């Protein structure tokens, strides 16, 4: 009787162990984030913290989380054949350098003392590139994007668009979405609602001027007004004279061509921005 009972317990124990071995391991190692601005903010902060702590295991897990799964199928289900093919090809190219791409975005932020992300989820886009993208879709999707609010001099207007798919946020860069045929580069004018923030602005130097007395030199000083166009990368791509001393224009153009601005965006989509700026010259000592 005792032997039979022992064998019964042993068989039951082996069965329990066998069933446990067949059950899938809980996905506790895969972080999950809620479908909300707070969820996206938490994911970005976790990734930034992993990079600061040099926790490569966690950082790599988060890099993989941000990949859009079955991206070809996703694009095909939402765009026409030509757009879907271009999107899939461009996204596949980006995946070849995925880690490097994310490092370019986050490594500069990891060195900052404090980083704050502003998250917005766009369901009704304003007129502009994102509106054209949504209009081209067979099936709509909600796009969220993250602005770097601190540090204020960060050159990043947005990290890209994030789509909540399969239980997590997936990053799709603007450069990928920009292949949609109906999207064209938009240009806006700087107004009270648009802040054109310079993050690198070397001072111009007034040229010396030879006056009628060959033994004396006179320095120019004053203000020249310029019309500029800032590209989607924050670099000045066009400079035109508007008013002020003509002789100051070459030096003003040379200085402003080296300026760099924080890119301007509408609904997280970088756009070109044109503005009038005044460049002041101080006389040489």
Which pLDDT score, from 0 to 100, does residue 18 have? 42
Q: How far apart are the first and last CA of the chain?
A: 109
In sequence order, which ranges of 111-170 are alpha helices (DSSP H)? 129-135
Handedness of CA 36, 75, 264, 274 (dihedral sign): negative
pLDDT of residue 22: 44
pLDDT at 26: 42
The per-residue pLDDT for 87 is 96
| pLDDT computed for residue 249 by the predictor | 92
3-state secondary structure of 83: helix
Q: How many other CB atoms are found less than 10 A from the CB of residue 56?
A: 11
Question: CATH for 188-209+219-281, among 3.30.2420.10, 3.20.20.140, 2.40.128.720, 3.40.640.10?
Answer: 3.30.2420.10
- Look at residue 23 in the predicted model and tell me its pLDDT: 41
**pTM recorded for the entire structure:** 0.73
**136-174 per-residue burial string, b: 16 or more CB within 10 A, e: under 16:** beeeebebbbbbbeeeeebebbbbbbbbbbeebbbbbbb
Residue 234: name the closest of 200, 190, 186 by CA. Answer: 200
Residue 177, CB-side half-sphere exposure with 13 Å CA sphere: 24
261 touches 212 (CB < 8 A): no
The answer to whether the beta carbons of residues 239 and 258 sit under 8 Å apart is no
Query: Tens digit of pLDDT per residue, the chain (285 long)?
Result: 444 544 444 444 444 334 344 444 344 467 889 999 999 999 999 999 999 999 999 999 999 999 999 999 999 999 999 999 999 999 999 999 999 999 888 888 888 888 999 999 887 888 888 888 988 999 888 899 998 888 877 777 788 899 999 899 999 998 899 999 988 778 888 875 777 888 889 888 777 665 555 555 555 678 999 999 999 888 999 999 999 988 889 989 999 999 999 888 888 888 899 999 999 887 666
SS3 labels along 4-51: HHHHHHHHHHHHHHHHHHHCCCCCCCCCCCCCCHHHHHHHHHHHHHHH
Instruction: For the beta carbon of residue 191, count every other beta carbon within 10 angstroms.
Output: 10
Domain boundaries, the chain: 37-184, 188-209+219-281
């Amino acid at each position: 009787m005792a032997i039979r009972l022992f064998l019964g317990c042993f068989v039951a124990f082996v069965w329990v162990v066998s069933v446990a071995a067949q059950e899938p391991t809980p996905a506790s190692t895969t972080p999950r984030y809620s479908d909300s601005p707070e969820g996206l903010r938490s994911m970005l902060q976790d990734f930034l913290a992993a990079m600061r702590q040099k926790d490569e295991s966690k950082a790599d897990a988060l890099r993989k989380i941000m990949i859009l799964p079955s991206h070809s199928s996703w694009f095909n289900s939402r765009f026409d054949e030509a757009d879907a093919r271009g999107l899939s090809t461009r996204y596949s190219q980006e995946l070849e350098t995925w880690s490097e791409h994310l490092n370019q975005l986050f490594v500069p932020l990891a060195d900052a003392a404090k980083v704050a992300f502003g998250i917005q989820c766009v369901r009704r886009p304003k007129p502009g590139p994102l509106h054209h993208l949504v209009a081209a879709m067979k099936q709509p999707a909600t796009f969220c994007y993250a602005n770097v609010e601190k540090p204020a001099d960060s050159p990043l207007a947005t990290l890209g668009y994030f789509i909540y798919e399969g239980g997590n946020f997936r990053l799709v860069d603007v450069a990928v979405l920009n292949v949609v045929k109906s999207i064209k580069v938009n240009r806006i004018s700087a107004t009270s609602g648009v802040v054109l923030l310079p993050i690198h602005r070397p001072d111009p130097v007034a040229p010396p001027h030879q006056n009628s007395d060959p033994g004396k030199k006179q320095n120019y000083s004053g203000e020249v007004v310029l019309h500029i166009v800032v590209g989607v990368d924050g670099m000045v791509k066009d400079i035109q004279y508007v008013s002020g001393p003509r002789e100051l224009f070459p030096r003003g153009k040379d200085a402003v061509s080296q300026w760099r601005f924080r890119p301007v965006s509408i609904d997280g989509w970088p756009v070109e921005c044109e503005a009038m700026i005044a460049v002041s010259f101080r006389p040489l000592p």
